[in-house]
């Protein structure tokens, strides 16, 4: 078994309203920053042991499907690196 860190990034699907990001964008503009758009996402860094990187990625994807992401409104992506 090898120690891996799987990073799961969960973001809203295109078209799903994100009032928190909109509020953050406006607050930055009020502070004088110029920006065109701001999107927010959640990132989970999961330390786990697996036989290989593929198994680590598969398990992290299953965690995303079952708990970390809501498939109705979220997309997610998984990246795996050795620890």
**Cβ-proximal residues to 60 (8 Å cutoff; 6+ apart), any chain:** 6, 8, 46, 48, 78, 80
Residue with smaller CB distance to a second copy, 3 or 71: 3
The distance of closest approach from Cβ of residue 82 to a second copy in the complex, given in angstroms and rounded to an integer, is 14
Eight-state DSSP code of residue 15:
T
**How far is CA 43 from each of CA 1, 34, 68, 78, rounded to the nearest angstrom?**
25, 25, 10, 10
The distance of closest approach from Cβ of residue 19 to a second copy in the complex, given in angstroms and rounded to an integer, is 15
Site for a second copy in 19-38 (CB under 8 A): 21, 24, 27-28, 31, 33-38
Binding site for a second copy (CB under 8 A): 3, 9, 21, 24, 27-28, 31, 33-49, 59, 62-63, 66-68
């Amino acid at each position: 078994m090898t120690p891996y860190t799987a990073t799961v990034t969960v973001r809203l699907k295109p078209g799903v309203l994100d009032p928190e990001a909109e509020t953050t964008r406006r607050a930055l503009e009020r502070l004088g920053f110029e920006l065109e758009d701001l999107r927010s996402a959640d990132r989970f860094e999961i330390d786990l042991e697996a036989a290989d990187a593929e198994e680590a990625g598969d398990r992290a994807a299953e965690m995303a499907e079952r708990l970390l992401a809501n498939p109705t409104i979220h997309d997610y992506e998984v990246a795996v690196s050795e620890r």
